[in-house]
Amino acid sequence: MFENLSERLDRSFKLLKGEGKITEINVAETLKDVRKALLDADVNYKVAKSFTDTVKEKALGQNVLTSVKPSQLMVKIVHDELASLMGGTAIDINLAGSPAIILMSGLQGSGKTTFSGKLANMLKTKRNKKPLLAACDVYRPAAIEQLRVVGEQVGVPVYMELENKNPVEIAMNAIREARAKGNDVVIVDTAGRLAIDEQMMKEIAAIKSAIQPDETLFVVDSMTGQDAVNTAKEFNERLNFDGVVLTKLDGDTRGGAALSIRTVVDKPIKFVGTGEKMDALDTFHPERMADRILGMGDIVSLVERAQEQYDEEEAKRLQKKIAKNQFDFNDFIAQIQQIKKMGNLKELASMIPGVGKALKDIDIDDNAFKSIEAIIYSMTPDERVNPAILNGSRRQRIAKGSGTTVQEVNKLIKQFDETRKMMRMLTAAKPGSKKFPSLK
Ligand code: GDP
C-alpha cells in the first residue's frame, strides 16, 4: 500500500543530500517536492500545505547536529508529522456498554458488511467477546444473506428478521436478543446507498438515536481518495460518528484518504481493512503507518503477528524431534501451514525494512508453496516419516502424483535434508560453544 507516495517521498529527501545543514534555501526545493508528492497522492491541498509549512518550521528550528545528515533529519521530521497528521496515537473503540453497541455507517460497497464480520472475528478471537451481528439492511435481501455468510465464516450468530422492514425495530430487537442470550457486543450493520441520500441519512440517524450506540463507526473505501474524505465530512455532520474504518487499503497505492481524513473531519481512524478475508483487519497505528509510508518497515506489527501465531507447546515438541533427528515431512508441512497462517507472504515481507521496495515488482504469493505442498501430499505416510526410503522409483511416482518433475522432487528432498542438518546443529549446540555455527 501507498507505494507511490513512499517512492516519491524517498526521492524528495534525496534532493537534500550533500547539504551541510538545513537552510531556508535548500529546504525549499525538498518541501516543494514533498508537497507535490502529497498532492499526487490525492491528499487534500489544504492539508498538504499546512503539512509542509509545519515541516519547514520544524526543520529550520532544529539545532545543527553533526551526527545526522540533513536528509536524515528531514526523514525524521516528516515521519513524525505524518504520524501526527494521522492522529498521533491509536484510539480504541468504546466497548463499555453491556452489551456494547457498535453502529456501522457508510455508503454501499464501502465494505461495511465485510468489516462487521472482521470486527466480530477480532473481538471474539482477540478480546474474548461474544458478539452478535444484527442485519438491518431491509432493502437488499442479498445484504442480509451476505452478513449471514460472514457470520457463519467467523462463527458469530447473526440476528435477522426477513419480514420486518423497520431497521430501528430490528436493531432494538437484536439488542434485546443479545441481553437474553448473553452476547456482550452487538454490531449493527445498516443499509448504504451508492451516493449520499437524504432518506438513508435520516434512517441511520433514527437508528442511532434509538439504540444510543457506544461507538458509531463510519466505513469508507480508501481507494476513493478525496471522495472518501468528502463523504466522511457529510456523514460526520449528520451522525457525529466516533471513528473511521478505512477499507481496501491493500489496493490503495496513494494514501490520500488515510492522510487527510483526520485533519478534515477531526475523527480518528480506528481500523484498516487490508483484504477480503476475515482476518485482514488491523488496528490503526499512526506511528506504524508513518513508518510504512516512509519505507522504514513495520517491524512491530511483523513481530506481533508472528507472536500471535507462535505456539509454545508445538515449538517444544518440535525441538525434541529435531534433537533426535526425527524432524520429518509432516513437521515440514506443518511449518509451511504456520507460515501461511501468518498471512499474505508479500505483505509480511514488505514490513521488513528495506525489503518493501525491492519486492514491489516481484511476485511472491502464497502459490510459492503450492508445488512443495503437492509433492509432500503425494508421499505415503511412511515416506513422510522416513524420508530415507525415497528411492528413484518412489521419487518418480511422487513427481507424477504431484504434477511436478523428478528434478523438483529431488530438489525439495535435498533442501529438506539440509534444513534438517542445520536445525540439528542449531538445537544441539549452545551459543558460544565450538559447535555453534558462526555467523561470521
Ligand atoms: P457494503 O456494501 O458496505 O456492505 O460492502 P461489502 O462488505 O459488501 O464490500 C464490498 C466489496 O469490497 C466486497 O467485494 C468485499 O469483499 C470488498 N472488500 C471489503 N473490504 C475489503 C478490503 O479491506 N480489501 C479488499 N481488497 N476488498 C475489500
Give me the numbers of helices (H) and strands (E) for the chain, helices first please: 20, 8
Q: Ligand 1 centroid vs 109 CA: distance in angstroms?
A: 6
Q: Ligand 1 centroid vs 121 CA: distance in angstroms?
A: 16
Average pLDDT of span 396-425: 88
Residue 171 has pLDDT above 90, yes or no: yes
Burial of 296 (0-12, 13-18, 19+ CB in 10 A): middle
Nearest to 89 by CA among 286, 304, 290: 286
Choosing from 140, 189, 276, 344 the residue with most ligand 1 atoms within 8 A of its CB, the one to mutate for a pocket test is: 276
112 Cβ partners below 8 Å, 6+ apart? 104, 105, 106, 189, 190, 192, 219
**Ligand 1 atom index nearest CA of 114:** 7
Choosing from 231, 247, 253, 344 the residue with most ligand 1 atoms within 8 A of its CB, the one to mutate for a pocket test is: 247
Cell numbers that stand for 288 in this block: 506504524
Question: In this predicted model, what pLDDT tens digit does every residue of 133-142 receive, in sequence order?
Answer: 999 998 888 9
The DSSP string of 278-315 is TT-EEE--HHHHHHHHTT---HHHHHHHHHHH--HHHH
How far, in Å, CA of 352 to CA of 302, rounded? 8
pLDDT band at 290 (very low <50, low <70, confident <90, very high): confident
pLDDT band at 358 (very low <50, low <70, confident <90, very high): low
Phi first, then psi: what are they for 434, rounded to 5°? Answer: -65, -30
The CA–CA distances, whole Å, from 395 to 261, 333, 374, 391 equal: 58, 18, 13, 6
Dihedral, CA atoms, 56, 76, 249, 116, nearest 10 degrees? -100
Mean pLDDT value across the chain: 84
pLDDT value at residue 392:
95
Cell numbers that stand for 415 in this block: 533442501
pLDDT band at 366 (very low <50, low <70, confident <90, very high): low
Ligand 1 atom 6, closest CA = 111
Q: What percent of the chain has pLDDT over 70?
A: 81
Ligand 1 atom 20, closest CA = 111
pLDDT band at 255 (very low <50, low <70, confident <90, very high): confident
**Ligand 1 atom index nearest CA of 143:** 4
268 Cβ partners below 8 Å, 6+ apart? 87, 91, 243, 244, 262, 284
Pocket of ligand 1 (CB under 6 A): 106, 108-114, 146, 192, 247-248, 250-251, 273-276, 280
pLDDT value at residue 352:
58
Residue 299 has pLDDT above 50, yes or no: no
132 Cβ partners below 8 Å, 6+ apart? 99, 156, 157, 158, 159, 174, 177, 178, 181, 183, 185, 186, 187
pLDDT value at residue 305:
56
Q: Ligand 1 centroid vs 80 CA: distance in angstroms?
A: 31
Average pLDDT of span 29-54: 89
Question: In this predicted model, what pLDDT tens digit does every residue of 186-229 receive, in sequence order?
Answer: 999 998 887 778 888 999 999 999 999 999 999 999 998 889 99
pLDDT value at residue 48:
92
pLDDT value at residue 312:
63
pLDDT value at residue 60:
81
Higher pLDDT, 155 or 42: 155
**Ligand 1 atom index nearest CA of 280:** 23
Question: In this predicted model, what pLDDT tens digit does every residue of 315-336 receive, in sequence order?
Answer: 777 778 877 888 889 888 887 7
**Ligand 1 atom index nearest CA of 281:** 23
**Ligand 1 atom index nearest CA of 189:** 4
Q: Ligand 1 centroid vs 91 CA: distance in angstroms?
A: 23
Q: Ligand 1 centroid vs 110 CA: distance in angstroms?
A: 6
CA angle 131, 204, 212 (to 5 degrees): 55
Strand order in the sheet with 158-159: 158-159, 131-136, 185-190, 100-105, 215-221, 243-247, 269-273, 281-283
Domains, the chain, with CATH or none = 3-85 (1.20.120.140), 100-285 (3.40.50.300), 308-428 (1.10.260.30)
pLDDT value at residue 413:
92
In this predicted structure, which of 111-115, 145-149, 363-367, 423-427 has the lowest mean pLDDT?
A: 363-367
Ligand 1 atom 5, closest CA = 111
Residue 343 has pLDDT above 70, yes or no: no
Cell numbers that stand for 125 in this block: 478471537
Collapse the DSSP code of 270 into the 3-class scheme (helix H, G, I; strand E, B; otherwise coil) and give the result. strand
In this predicted structure, which of 7-16, 200-209, 355-364, 429-438 has the lowest mean pLDDT?
A: 429-438
Q: Ligand 1 centroid vs 193 CA: distance in angstroms?
A: 14
Q: Are the C-beta atoms of 280 and 153 separated by less than 8 Å?
A: no
pLDDT value at residue 62:
65
**Ligand 1 atom index nearest CA of 106:** 3
Q: Ligand 1 centroid vs 115 CA: distance in angstroms?
A: 8
Question: In this predicted model, what pLDDT tens digit does every residue of 49-86 receive, in sequence order?
Answer: 999 999 998 888 765 555 456 777 777 788 889 999 99
Average pLDDT of span 169-176: 97
Q: Ligand 1 centroid vs 167 CA: distance in angstroms?
A: 22
Higher pLDDT, 200 or 3: 200
As annotated, the binding site includes 106-113, 189-193, 247-250
Residue 30 has pLDDT above 70, yes or no: yes
Average pLDDT of span 82-108: 93
In this predicted structure, which of 22-36, 125-139, 265-279 has the lowest mean pLDDT?
A: 22-36
Angle between helices 198-211 and 226-239 (to 10 degrees): 50
pTM: 0.69
Choosing from 105, 110, 114 the residue with most ligand 1 atoms within 8 A of its CB, the one to mutate for a pocket test is: 114
As annotated, the binding site for GTP includes 106-113, 189-193, 247-250
**Ligand 1 atom index nearest CA of 273:** 23
Q: Ligand 1 centroid vs 112 CA: distance in angstroms?
A: 7
How far, in Å, CA of 380 to CA of 343, rounded? 29
Collapse the DSSP code of 64 into the 3-class scheme (helix H, G, I; strand E, B; otherwise coil) and give the result. coil
Residue 346 has pLDDT above 90, yes or no: no
Collapse the DSSP code of 343 into the 3-class scheme (helix H, G, I; strand E, B; otherwise coil) and give the result. coil
